[in-house]
Amino acid sequence: MLGGVIRHNKSIVRCGAFRALSSSSNVMTVRDALNSAIDEEMSADPKVLLIGEEVGEYQGAYKISKGLLDKYGPQRVLDTPITEAGFAGIGVGAAYYGLKPIVEFMTFNFSMQAIDHIINSAAKSNYMSAGQISVPIVFRGPNGAAAGVGAQHSQCYAAWYASCPGLKVLTPYSAEDARGLLKAAIRDPDPVVFLENELLYGESFPVSAEVLDSSFCLPIGKAKIEKEGKDVTITAFSKMVGYALKAAEILAKEGINAEVINLRSIRPLDRSTINASVRKTNRLVTVEEGFPQHGVGAEICASVIEESFGYLDAPVERIAGADVPTPYAANLERLAFPQIEDIVRAAKRACYRSGKVAATA
């Protein structure tokens, strides 16, 4: 984020050159990480543009695009009507001609209006053209549940898009993830679905000088071991990574040393890191906000059964959202999504510390 805001030693420093900062005490919000990634990639490559509802004059529904219209002008930061199918199609067409559009959905629930362009126009074109048509486009925006916005605005689309060949699906958790993965997505020659979380936008995370460097980029398809452990593997993505880490702290007080894997990439999925961890811990708990049937956790389970079945000392535990449309009432909404205590209980079951092993998701 050129000219962005970083908290440094509890004071606010406005800076144009990240690499000059100390790596020991930098803190960055996910919102600023995303803004900085888009800013730097637009600055480095004139082919990169941003298109979507309220991304310009309003500076983004969640202020991800703050300052970009003033800096790059209306030809590269384009406000659109409320027509997801229209502006997603324009973005795909621009990508056909060599531009690198970033298409923002106000929520990924609205991407269903544009799913034909994402799947049929973007994901399949390279294959159907025998490699002659590249579609370097990023579809990004908040995914999953927010708070009190009802069933039509509270769904996780990770499993939906991850089932489609031709797409790459990324799910950042921290500021480092958001910054490094979005840069990788913008530079990638293939269409990328970039699933953010609205409730993480304002969260602050420590970042190193390397992360703040304009050349920083994370590899697509590589998970991160957020916490090493030996007793049970916990896989998670997006907001659930934070829940898994908090659960691991609780488990540690009870003598269970959990390993927490931040998936980062849903498609491609880092099967090797997951299986290597399970072969060490001999137990697995998968965590996601999405529906249990045909979910990301189900795919991880299949991978572990296929590659590491002989290493398992307990049945795999799947923690997922309830198999119902998201309730609007706050008390019911909480029951519909995984909580920290659910992860703790599942890990203890896997370690045979309490309760019976779950028979279903």
- pLDDT, tens digit (0-9, with 9 covering 90-100), for 45-72: 999 999 999 999 999 999 999 999 999 9
Furthest C-alpha separation in the chain: 60
**Regions in the chain scoring below 50 on pLDDT:** 1-24, 355-361
Rounded distance between C-alpha atoms, residue 169 and residue 166, angstroms: 10
Other Cβ atoms within 10 Å of 205 Cβ, number: 20
Distance, CA of 90 to chain centre: 24
Instruction: Say what the pLDDT of residue 146 is.
Output: 86
CATH top class, domain 224-351: alpha beta
Q: What are residue 189's DSSP bridge partners?
A: none
Query: SS in 3 state form for 190-219?
Result: CCEEEEECHHHCCCEEEECHHHHCCCCCCC
Backbone phi, psi, residue 170, to 5°: -120, 145
Rounded distance between C-alpha atoms, residue 194 and residue 170, angstroms: 5
Where in the chain are all domains bearing CATH 3.40.50.920? 224-351
Other Cβ atoms within 10 Å of 18 Cβ, number: 23
Instruction: Say what the pLDDT of residue 234 is.
Output: 98
Instruction: Say what the pLDDT of residue 315 is.
Output: 96
Q: Which helix (H) or strand (E) holds 6?
A: strand 4-8
Cβ neighbours of residue 177 closer than 8 Å, sequence gap 6 or more: 218, 224, 262, 264
* 104 contacts 140 by C-beta, under 8 angstroms: yes
Reduce the DSSP state of residue 170 to 3 states and report it. Answer: strand
Q: Taken in order 157, 159, 163, 165, is the CA torsion positive or negative?
A: positive
The catalytically annotated residue of 153, 196, 259, 289 is 153
* 99 contacts 47 by C-beta, under 8 angstroms: yes
Instruction: Say what the pLDDT of residue 30 is.
Output: 98
Question: Which among 243, 138, 119, 121 is positioned nearest to 186, based on CA atoms?
Answer: 138
For 117, 277, 303, the CA distances from 270, given in Å and listed in that order, are 27, 11, 10
Instruction: Say what the pLDDT of residue 19 is.
Output: 34
Angle value at C-alpha 245, between 323 and 164, nearest 5 degrees = 45
Q: Establish whether 84 is a catalytic residue.
A: yes
Instruction: Say what the pLDDT of residue 325 is.
Output: 94
- Give the pLDDT confidence of 207-253 residue by residue, as tens digits: 999 999 999 999 999 999 999 999 999 999 999 999 999 999 999 99
* 229 contacts 281 by C-beta, under 8 angstroms: yes
Pick the CATH number of 26-212 from 3.90.1210.10, 3.30.390.50, 3.30.70.20, 3.40.50.970: 3.40.50.970
Entry pTM: 0.90
Where in the chain are all domains bearing CATH 3.40.50.970? 26-212
Rounded distance between C-alpha atoms, residue 70 and residue 67, angstroms: 6
Q: Establish whether 153 is a catalytic residue.
A: yes
The catalytically annotated residue of 84, 196, 299, 333 is 84
* 79 contacts 57 by C-beta, under 8 angstroms: yes
Q: What are residue 26's DSSP bridge partners?
A: 8, 207
Exposure pattern of 131-156 as b/e (b: 16+ CB <10 Å)?
Answer: eeebbbbbbbbbbbbbeeeeeebbbb
Instruction: Say what the pLDDT of residue 354 is.
Output: 59
